[in-house]
Chains A and B, each alone.
Chain A
């Protein structure tokens, strides 16, 4: 018995060691730093200042703006991505020639690096670039300086890009969910005279609930932490600074106020965790919401 305990310990070792060293230690370090005035550039050590960082954060305009921008981003992209992914999955669900090609094509953007996509879209969104030209053809006047250099369109442009990139991935998950619904259910409903719309709302949607929940939770968590696109495309200007961008800007560059930024990071973590828990609660209700 002792021997199997030893073996169990050895088996767990690589994970425990790497997790403790590379994830837990930095996490605790930051947690503590959030209560100090630790600055990366200062030679003097950090002083414990308790909740001062947190107090200051909530009167910091830039931080509050970043919270607003992040929420706009999350509430704008998650529902749209989910609905679009579902629609695309429904569209590609039946077997027809070329299905594989379309499925792959839709999925392609999501396996590409975020940096590359951001670079490409920076060019496409420029004044005179492809998207502006297409918008003009369709009758809209694109903003004067391109979509990224205007406070009214910059954040939404980045959101659109994000939806474009992730919809294929979630479409696949919905596809799997659709495939796992037994076809007999539809047979029975058809025999009983239910229309396809009725079938959709009474069979498909309820049975997709766990999948939808998974998608919404994962997508929200990722969306709350958006950073790369903003860093590459606008450097936080034109009302696009997200919370993680604020953390990066305040803590790792410009201000080098690591303690302050750590506090902000934990505020973000708290928001994300609460939001996710809330989503679980909302979707776990006995009675379907729709």
Chain B
């Protein structure tokens, strides 16, 4: 760590070039709430740290015809303070708001939470359920990647050398759409999710679910997009029977491990419980 270099470029291209050109390991610094913990614990010893917070498109966000384009390094607290964004994508913003404490919220970002690639990341199931799309920039230009294709394993992403997630796009919401994210933690704050469940669903005028996406976190090496859970909801009025099917589908899809935060048995059972509860909240939000 002696000799670690710090750069703060003002454009994505510069940042990308720095990352690609590093002789040793290089890491992106957004909010630092994961990176600095890992540096201190000796888990990573990069030669170069690239601070992206001077890059305007990564630290601002905008809405265009109902679609939000959010800079990957915008602090969560800023997003949560935007009443319109919070009202539209309540699940996503509340999910990110659950990450850590007030102090963490002042720094942590959607991009950082995603790219740290913890299987228990709170924003990821919510973003997946919301059909979020990342714009990735690298030495070979830019490409769009669905959020669910970014994480490939614990701490691993599909980003190539020199690539950065620049923005995250939340699509224009169909009417009568609601999203929700719930997580289980032993205390009421400050814990890593033991189970996370994100649900986004759309109803028709009659109250029948016409579209749904359900994503589970902390029960597999990456967050899962569970088609069977969506199938349990689509075409139904999200009644008790549909909820029971949803519960069963969630439990079937979960493949958690035993660790210091929870057992296989516990995580499996609670996957079903949270999927149901999140679906109930999403349903209410879609209806109102």
Report if A and B associate in a common complex: no
Chain B interfacial positions (CB closer than 8 Å to A): none
